[in-house]
Amino acid sequence: MEPRPRQSEFDRVLECGVYDALWMLTKQWQFGEFQGEDTGSAIFAKIHMQTTPVTRIKTANGTAQTYTDDIPLEERIENLPYRLDFKSTLEASFIFLKCLDNAAAQLSVTDYDSKAYKARLKNLFPLENIDPVQNADSSETVLSKTETLSNENLVDTIAASANRYFDGFDLYEKILSDTATAIKDITNNNAAHNTFVTQAVNDYISWFEKNFNLSSDSTNTAWLPSHLEYQFACASPGEDGNNTILSANEYYSGDLDWYSFDVNKVQTFDGLSGAAEAGEMANITDQILTVIPTEAKFAGAPNSRWWQFENGSVDLGNINAGTTDLLKLIFTEYALLYNTDWLLVPYRVPVGTICEIKGIVVRDVFGEQSFIEPAIQGETDNWAKWGMFNLSTLHADGVRDQPADTRLFIPPAVVKNLESEPLEEVHFIRDEMTNHVWAIEVNLSDKLGNNRDGQYAAKNFRDYLQQFDLPATNGAQQVEVMFKYTLANTVPENWLPFIPVHIPNSNRDVQLQRASMPRMFRNEFTHIRPRTQLLRVGIDDSDQQTSPYFINEEEIPRTGVQLTATFQRTRWYNGAVVNWYGNRKQVGRGEGSSGLYYDRIEGVKKE
């Protein structure tokens, strides 16, 4: 019903007169308004809230540790060991010189000579220049040098910096191994300078540990190379004295939130499962809220009173929605039918806690009290039903249709962060023609803080290597032929194969094992090894494989996988700036073909 004025006076039009009371009563009966429902408005509510913080955390490869919220959870989970590149080494040397200058200025050291200290550090920790390749060098030496010499930007940077700076990483290792001797060498046995140099060394160590994670192994990380995912679990004490385990078994997106976790009632985690410690139980907080609920509103919502003016720019009656516009249909239904049925009760939930509503008692304007329970939520974890912010519950195999957990978990995760360009990037694709999975190194680290194209790097390496290769000496006599037989061709060196192999004690299940393409150099075959740290699992610094690398076959679907390694930076709510280096997995772009073939007879074109 809308007023339509046709007269110059608006008095009768705006008075909303009713001319047919029977019609109005009939419409009320049609819409079910005579069913005797208690439609009293909520005027008072009491809510019992319980919050429990996360007290312990365990990564897939580490041991359980006490959790503190001084840094984001992503930094604890995603941070991986990073191999210091040449640019970082130069930066470290520059920072140590700054530490010396600042410490000398703070302590008013009058006889401090920055140039003398810099010259001494260059002698103690020199930067090694790159020797050119000699024809007499062994094949291993040529291959090792060529990998560096084919990187033009790195070669130019080393040539320009080798005689001007020192190796900041060697200095850091010397300080860690023998601090007293390092200070003695830096001061050149000048005891009067021990105090300010010691302060500079401490500042340097603090800066180094803040910016770089130089763990030599992956024993404490959450990254599982065989799954291409992070796995970790958190523990929170419960009322019954036992821990609630929240596990993230398949976290890889880089966006950590409540949907990344499940309430795990199947697995046991050393250091997390079992009874909570007495000191942890004291962190459980119970609170009774006494509030007046307010009506939930949003911009453009229809007014609950008919004679109020509404927002003219919103026309909910003119929404065109198809049968597949589920989100639009749900929102329209809520706005038109259930807009006035929702009430808000503000409650600040601390970050890093599990919040549970133990009970809600609402009193309406008629004095009636009602106990409110979750609407549908928690009744089932069936795929056909869902509830926002519910936590799925992991049960034993074969158990289906179990209640979900209606508690709200707010992980201590960052809201916004800065992410660098991929330092390393690998695309996994399926190649049905060769029955392989190929790992394509799309981007490699240029060891100067940036990346370089993997295909260009492979071609540049091959071209540089050819000038030191030997001509083929197979002794075959050159004759004119019509056909030639090719045992196998080759692929670019940034294409690494993963071949299917049987899982032990299984005749059907397979997994993907990293293999290597052969490289012919000086009439000998060598293995082509990956250059990205993403694929160098089980390969040492001498390019020798110490252990095989397997990836679960189901981790590489037909769409493929894109794996990237990036630096990330954020500011935590305590004001601290946090940096870390981690991996992220995304969906690929489909299958591909390497062009690899075997056993082919081809016609020879005559010139």
Residue 303's CB is within 10 A of a number of other CB atoms, namely 13
d(CA 268, CA 273): 6
Radius of gyration of the chain (CA): 34
* DSSP assignment letter at 234: E
Long-range (24+ apart) CB contacts under 8 A made by 187-191 are 188/120
Q: DSSP assignment of 293-348, as one string?
A: -EE---TTPPPSSTTS---TT--GGG----TT-HHHHHHHHHHHHSGGG-EE----
How much of the chain, in percent, has pLDDT values that exceed 90?
A: 41
List pLDDT tens digits, range 388-397.
788 888 877 6
Q: What is the model's pLDDT at position 511?
A: 95
> Which of 160-164, 196-200, 525-529, 569-573 is least confident?
160-164
Global pTM reads 0.82
Q: Is residue 283 packed enough to be buried (19+ CB in 10 Å), middle (13-18) or exposed (0-12)?
A: middle
Mean pLDDT in residue range 329-354: 85
Q: What is the model's pLDDT at position 216?
A: 47
380 compared with 490, residue with greater pLDDT: 490
Residue with tokens 């749900």: 330
Q: What is the model's pLDDT at position 215?
A: 55
* Helix (H) or strand (E) run with residue 205 in it: helix 194-211
3-class DSSP assignment, residue 239 = coil
432 compared with 311, residue with greater pLDDT: 432
N- to C-terminal Cα separation, the chain: 90
Phi-psi region of 332 (alpha: psi -120 to 50; beta: other; left: phi over 0): alpha
Q: What is the model's pLDDT at position 376?
A: 62
List pLDDT tens digits, range 484-534.
888 888 899 999 999 999 999 888 899 999 999 999 888 888 899 999 999
Q: What is the mean pLDDT of the chain?
A: 86
Phi, psi of 88 (to 5 degrees): -65, -35
> Which of 49-63, 161-175, 365-379, 502-516 is least confident?
365-379
Q: What is the model's pLDDT at position 409?
A: 93
Using the predicted structure, report yes or no on whether residue 314 has a pLDDT greater than 80: no
Q: What is the model's pLDDT at position 179?
A: 92
Alpha helices in 15-113 (DSSP H): 21-30, 73-78, 86-106
Using the predicted structure, report yes or no on whether residue 384 has a pLDDT greater than 70: no
d(CA 10, CA 17): 12
d(CA 266, CA 52): 21
List pLDDT tens digits, range 23-81.
878 877 877 777 766 667 888 999 999 999 999 999 998 888 899 888 899 988 998 88
List pLDDT tens digits, range 320-333.
888 888 888 888 88
Mean pLDDT in residue range 220-228: 91
Q: What is the model's pLDDT at position 49?
A: 92
> Which of 251-265, 274-288, 426-440 is least confident?
274-288
Using the predicted structure, report yes or no on whether residue 147 has a pLDDT greater than 80: yes
List pLDDT tens digits, range 419-471.
999 999 999 999 988 888 999 999 999 989 899 999 999 999 999 888 888 77
Q: What is the model's pLDDT at position 38?
A: 62
For residue 274, what pLDDT band results from cuts at 50, 70 and 90?
confident
List pLDDT tens digits, range 587-601.
999 999 888 888 889
Using the predicted structure, report yes or no on whether residue 478 has a pLDDT greater than 70: no
Residue type, 507: N
Cα atoms in the Cβ-side hemisphere of radius 13 Å centred on 31? 7
CA-nearest of 160, 163, 151, 159 to 123 is: 163
Q: What are the angstrom distances between the C-alpha of 581 and each of 208, 250, 494? A: 14, 19, 23
Per the CB < 8 A criterion, the answer to whether 437 and 550 are in contact is: no
Residue type, 509: D
d(CA 295, CA 304): 10
Q: What is the model's pLDDT at position 39?
A: 66
Q: What are the angstrom distances between the C-alpha of 278 and each of 242, 494, 567? A: 11, 55, 39
Write down the domain spans for the chain.
42-80+228-296+343-413, 86-127+163-211, 418-603
Q: What is the model's pLDDT at position 379?
A: 58
For residue 223, what pLDDT band results from cuts at 50, 70 and 90?
very high
List pLDDT tens digits, range 5-29.
677 777 776 676 677 788 878 877 8
Q: What is the model's pLDDT at position 308?
A: 66
